[in-house]
Amino acid sequence: MSTRVGGRRLTPYLLVGPGVAWLGVFFLVPLWNLFVMSLSTKRSRYDFDPAFRWDWSNYGDVFGAYGTQLGRSFLFAGVATLACLVIGYPMAYWVVVHGGRFRAALVGLVIVPFFTSFLLRTISWTVLLADESVIVRALRATGVLAVLRTVGWIDGDRLLDTPVAVVGGLTYNFLPFMVLPLYVSLERIDLRLLDACGDLYASGWSAFRRVVLPLSLPGVFAGSLLTFIPATGDFVNAYFLGGTSSRMIGNVVQDRFLVQLDQPGAAAISFLLMAVITVAVLVYARVLGTEELTS
Amino acid sequence: MTLHTSRRRFLGGLAAVAAGGVFAPSLLTACGNDAVGGRRLRVATWPIYIDVEPEGEATLDLFEKATGIPVDWNEDINDNLEYFAKIQPTLSAGKTIRADIITPTYWLVPRLADLGWLEPLPIDAIPNAKNLLPGLQRPTWDPEGRWSLPWQTGTTGIAYNRKATGGKEIRSMDDLFHPDLAGKVGFLTEMRDTLGLLMLADGKNPETASVADAERAIERLRKAKSDGQIRKFTGNDYQDELTKGSFAACVAWSGDIAQLALENPDLAYVVPDEGGMKWADAMVIPKGTTDLDAVAKFMDFVYDPTNAARITASVQYISPVQGVREALRAAGGDGAALADSTALFPDAATEKRLYTFRSLSEDEESRLSEAFSKLTGS
């Protein structure tokens, strides 16, 4: 009898055990190693056993040297997240309201690009955005390139190898991460609420602003985090679609780690990035209101 | 002549996956040669770097027939620095990697040797080593010929797309800085290729130049970058930019362009008037290899001109082995046409204008590499 009670008490811990063990071994231990590395010093370039000595100067050094790329990463990822929201929200909304029995299939279509490798999808953009491609010619003819040039987002008469192309690639690659959470939160809204709004003489806009939007905020929150965080650390888009001044912090980490063999520096950048993202997310959660997360 | 995919072309884009190397060290655990049943020779090299057809009669099959030693041919190397980062944890811990021969690019050889990660060549057991081209004997990267035998070699020069240059032929590195090509010029992120060519344009010999000479080249690039002259710094993916016309001209590798020009006659490759760079991927033996006899047998086998010619006919790089030209002619067929290729057999005048990058000390490497990657990676 008593053993059964004891067993039942243990059940939750047993259930959570594998997850904790997994995170402990494959997340916390490497994270700790990374932290130790970020405070270590190499005696020389080919010293492969950096000595731990609370070397906080690594942080100052990399921040001084790569502050530009860090700021640029947040800017690019921020703009891409906003663009994903602007493109993704109407998509998700339309599927929920008008999708009918095709909803599942339509949402499935959003995931279809994932069947192709991330790398190939990005490389294919270099073809779409080539200087003489149909798309770029059309944008040139309609004056869009001229406008982009006037606002200073591109220089020269091209899209490929510019910051605009990088942000475009990020937006395209991470759009599904925005659409899916939005869809889930919009789908849970009882559509009869819209009828009720109408009965109470609310205009379509105010029904959206005062009822639908607030109810979908958890989706907006989840979607923007799922988009923003990986986009910040991305290095593939900047590598293939960027030019001489559009490298992101992910490219810097790769260069520090694999080319310069500067493991402490690479670790410090990674930690710095994590710290800034954590703070940004906390602020964001505060602004959107954390209780929305649990609703 | 069948159109093959050259190794560097195949690599287009793969450089970006380099971060994969971060996770790889765990895969390279220590392992003696005798661990898996029987005697095997393990070679780690670049993709598409040996003939594979016809089945049963390709070089590796013939080697096994001749010696009884099967070869594990592993296309493990995609990028020198990535590969270095991969093997470093194992070798610096004094363990052995799962390879008996690896083929990094020449400049990595002195670094590996200085770190004590190489076994000396069993040169006495490789009589065919006498077939090494005179120009490659006692090279700057291995002056005593103690550590390495070249596998394949090639040159670095300028490639251009006549359509994009407006029909203008490119002759010198200085042409890449001409305002007419503003925003349409590419340079390689491979530091020694890019800086070597720029130093030659500056009248300096990269085999003896000082760090200050190299820094002057970096300064020239920095200025061109801020003027908007340079469109992009690339790895192997420069070929796409060139064929699409995004690059009018760029620093390039010879073998690639020979291939691409077959499909696109607007493309051309030139060793600049002031001089070009030559490179070699060299066979070296990682520390701890036990079966040096198998290693020697293999090196001897591929330095036989007939075998070397078979490899050349397939991979189409410049062979380091004397007598390949004659062997190609003798073999006849598609191979015979290759015997007259100036890309595979540069004439003496061109040969004279080719240089390698001198070995850098640890401090010099650090200084230059930092400055260069700050420029290319911002």
- Structure confidence at residue B34 as a pLDDT band (50, 70, 90): very low
- Asked if residue B53 has pLDDT above 50, the reply is yes
Domain assignment present for A106: yes
The answer for A 31-60 residues in CB contact with B (under 8 A) is 44-46, 48-49
Q: What is the mean pLDDT of residues B296-320?
A: 94
- Asked if residue B201 has pLDDT above 60, the reply is yes
| Predicted pLDDT of residue A7 | 65
Q: From the list B16, B232, B378, which residue is nearest A161 (CB)?
A: B232
Average pLDDT, chain B: 88
The single-letter code of the amino acid at B327 is: A
- Asked if residue A288 has pLDDT above 90, the reply is no
Q: Lowest-confidence range among A101-105, A212-216, A285-289, B92-96?
A: A285-289
**For residues B282 and B153, what is the distance between their CA atoms, to the nearest angstrom?**
8
> How many contacts (CB atoms, under 8 Å) link A and B?
86
- Total number of domains constituting chain A: 1
Half-sphere exposure in the Cβ direction for B333 (13 Å, CA): 9
| Residue range A106-163, pLDDT digits in tens | 999 998 988 989 999 999 999 899 888 999 999 999 999 999 988 888 877 889 999 9
What are the structure tokens assigned to B346, written together?
């540069």
| Residue range B229-239, pLDDT digits in tens | 999 998 878 98
- Structure confidence at residue B35 as a pLDDT band (50, 70, 90): very low
- Asked if residue B248 has pLDDT above 90, the reply is yes
What are chain B's domains? 7-148+284-303 (3.40.190.10), 155-278+357-376 (3.40.190.10)
Residues of chain B with C-beta less than 8 angstroms from the C-beta of A48: 88-89, 92
Domain assignment present for A31: no
| Predicted pLDDT of residue B118 | 97
Q: A57 with A268: CB under 8 angstroms?
A: no
**For residues B73 and B59, what is the distance between their CA atoms, to the nearest angstrom?**
11
Q: Which range scores top for mean pLDDT: A42-46, A101-105, A259-263, B221-225?
A: B221-225
Does residue B54 have a cis bond before it (omega within 30 degrees)?
yes
Q: From the list B16, B225, B378, which residue is nearest A247 (CB)?
A: B378
| pTM greater than the 0.80 cutoff | yes
- Asked if residue A249 has pLDDT above 70, the reply is yes
Q: What is the mean pLDDT of residues A17-26?
A: 92
Domain assignment present for A52: no
| Predicted pLDDT of residue B3 | 39
Domain assignment present for A253: yes
Domain assignment present for A53: no
- Structure confidence at residue B25 as a pLDDT band (50, 70, 90): very low
Average pLDDT, chain A: 90
- Asked if residue B18 has pLDDT above 80, the reply is no
Domain assignment present for A18: no
Check residues B4 and A147 and name the one with the higher pLDDT.
A147
Domain assignment present for A22: no
B9 touches chain A (CB under 8 A): no
Cα dihedral B170→B176→B178→B180 (10° resolution): 70
CATH number at residue A201: 1.10.3720.10
- Structure confidence at residue B260 as a pLDDT band (50, 70, 90): confident
- Asked if residue B8 has pLDDT above 50, the reply is no
- The answer to whether B19 contacts A258, with C-beta atoms less than 8 Å apart, is yes
| Residue range A200-209, pLDDT digits in tens | 998 889 998 9
Domain assignment present for A271: yes
User: At which residue do the structure tokens 């130790």 appear?
Assistant: A36
Interaxial angle between packed helices A118-128 and A163-187, expressed in degrees from 0 to 180 and rounded to the nearest 10: 130
| Predicted pLDDT of residue B51 | 92
- The answer to whether B244 contacts A132, with C-beta atoms less than 8 Å apart, is yes
Residues of chain B with C-beta less than 8 angstroms from the C-beta of A257: 19, 22, 85
Domain that holds residue A234: 67-294
- Asked if residue A173 has pLDDT above 80, the reply is yes
**For residues B369 and A255, what is the distance between their CA atoms, to the nearest angstrom?**
10
| Predicted pLDDT of residue B28 | 41
